[in-house]
Amino acid sequence: MWRHVAANAFTFLMVGLFLLGGLIMWGKGQYDAPGPLTQAVCVQVAGGSNMRRVSENLAEQGAVSSASIFRIGADYEKKSSKLKAGSFLVEPEASMKEIVDVITRGGASTCGTEIVYRIGVNRVSIQVRELDPATNRFAELAQFTQGSDEVPAEYTQMLEQSDVRFRIAMAEGVTSWQVVNAISGMDIMEGTVAETPAEGSLAPDSYEVRKGDDRAALIARMQDAQELLVAAAWEARADDLPIDSPEELLILASLVEKETGVADERRQVSSVFVNRLNQGMRLQTDPTVIYGITRGEGILGRGLRRSELRAETPYNTYVIPALPPTPIANPGRASLMAAAQPDETPYIFFVADGTGGHAFAVTLDEHNRNVAVWRQIEADRAAAAENGDNN
């Protein structure tokens, strides 16, 4: 009898283990399988939250088929304690395993609301925007100019949210003084910058920051990034360039940056400067003269005077037969590479053509004709503006 009971118990145990094993295998399959999402969603994980609340939120949004299996899988992978606060983009058909990895990996948020501080040549604009997971595009909530416009309520409200991301986007061609002046006015940053960094030493780029980050530390990041860009451009430079050091390459790149905003023109503009240097000609570029007047502290806001074009200053390339002594702005990667690898052209002249680009020329006669066309375009625009004011 006891043998019969023992045999039945053993049978039940084996069946139970078999069923448990099958259940585990089924659960693992559910955990690893593509999820039910048909379009991306943004999952917000509040500070101090736990895996239970997150799993229930995911189930409500239709991102996981079972909150329980999600939690069991996270526990099994020993990731439940690694939950990170933030807003995370969950892609369509993401498995539970993939979602657990996203919300425990750490790093910057990948969706939700973002505040972008754009440091431009003429102003600093602040944009509050939110990512639409379905389209993967940002929708603008508010935009204003730092220091002049009224601060919108959307901006003030978002500053108090724990999952908002902050980004500082530095444009190509801004000066070091403009960068320091801009970040000094940003209320999310702390600390001070002891002195203005050397001109040209900051890399134009987009920098992720956190509320309370140190301003000097951000400047150091920009400097480190620019050092790498300059070193790479110098290493890739063409043979026989009329420049002798990475610093001179940086100076030339800053001239290219300030002379054109058209990407396809950078190497042509660079070729004009290189041709002039090779021929011992003066560079005769207005941005250097302007920098000699402003020292990069704001914009000139008017045309150059004849006396300024004749003045003997280190930055007046209408007078000095060489590069100016320092960069005149912070050039980006494209302008650095244009300075390092200019096009091979016969051009030694260029002038604006009215489209945002330039007309290039080999001879002075051809250049003078291009200048005459540009002067007429300027006159026509002035007349149209005057007629518009009178109407």
Between CA 338 and CA 335 the distance in angstroms is: 5
Per residue in 94-133, pLDDT tens?
788 887 787 788 666 667 788 899 999 999 999 988 877 7
Domain boundary among 111, 145, 178: 111
In a domain, 371, yes or no: yes
Range of the structural domain that residue 244 is part of:
238-381
Same domain, 122 and 165: yes
What's the full length of the chain, in residues? 391
How many structural domains does the chain have?
3
Same domain, 224 and 308: no
Lowest mean pLDDT among 161-165, 186-190, 220-224, 290-294: 161-165
Between CA 232 and CA 251 the distance in angstroms is: 15
In a domain, 169, yes or no: yes
Between CA 190 and CA 182 the distance in angstroms is: 13
Domain boundary among 230, 257, 273: 230
More confident residue, 285 or 7: 285
Is 378's pLDDT higher than 90? no
Per residue in 23-82, pLDDT tens?
556 556 677 778 787 777 777 777 777 878 878 888 888 877 888 878 887 887 887 788
Is 3's pLDDT higher than 60? no
Domain boundary among 81, 111, 141: 111
Between CA 55 and CA 154 the distance in angstroms is: 30
Q: 359 in helix, strand or coil?
A: strand
Cβ atoms 177, 295 nearer than 8 A: yes
Instruction: Give Cα 230 distance to the centre of its chain.
Output: 18
For position 5, what pLDDT does the model report? 45
Same domain, 106 and 149: no
In a domain, 17, yes or no: no
For position 12, what pLDDT does the model report? 52
Same domain, 156 and 105: no
Same domain, 245 and 212: no
Cβ atoms 165, 157 nearer than 8 A: no
Is 17's pLDDT higher than 60? no
For position 259, what pLDDT does the model report? 92
Same domain, 167 and 215: yes
Question: Can you state the angle between helices 51-60 and 67-76, rounded to 10 degrees?
Answer: 140
For position 389, what pLDDT does the model report? 61
Same domain, 102 and 161: no
Between CA 133 and CA 117 the distance in angstroms is: 22
Same domain, 180 and 297: no
Which amino acid belongs to residue 179?
Answer: V
Residues 6+ apart with CB under 8 A from 279: 348
Locate all alpha helices (DSSP H) within the chain, ordered by sequence: 2-32, 51-60, 67-76, 96-105, 153-159, 176-184, 215-235, 246-259, 266-278, 286-294, 306-310, 333-340, 364-390
Between CA 307 and CA 317 the distance in angstroms is: 14
Residues 6+ apart with CB under 8 A from 341: 236, 237, 238, 267
Same domain, 168 and 263: no
What sign has the CA pseudo-torsion 131, 136, 137, 139? negative
Between CA 57 and CA 35 the distance in angstroms is: 15
Which amino acid belongs to residue 72?
Answer: I
Same domain, 144 and 107: no
Among all chains, which residue has been given the structure tokens 């754009």? 118
Show the tokens assigned to 328. 């005149």
Instruction: Read off the DSSP letter of residue 107.
Output: S
Same domain, 189 and 298: no
Is 19's pLDDT higher than 80? no
By DSSP bridging, strand 113-119 and strand 206-209 are: unpaired
Between CA 126 and CA 13 the distance in angstroms is: 67
CATH number of the domain bearing residue 35: 3.30.1490.480
For position 114, what pLDDT does the model report? 87
Same domain, 252 and 367: yes
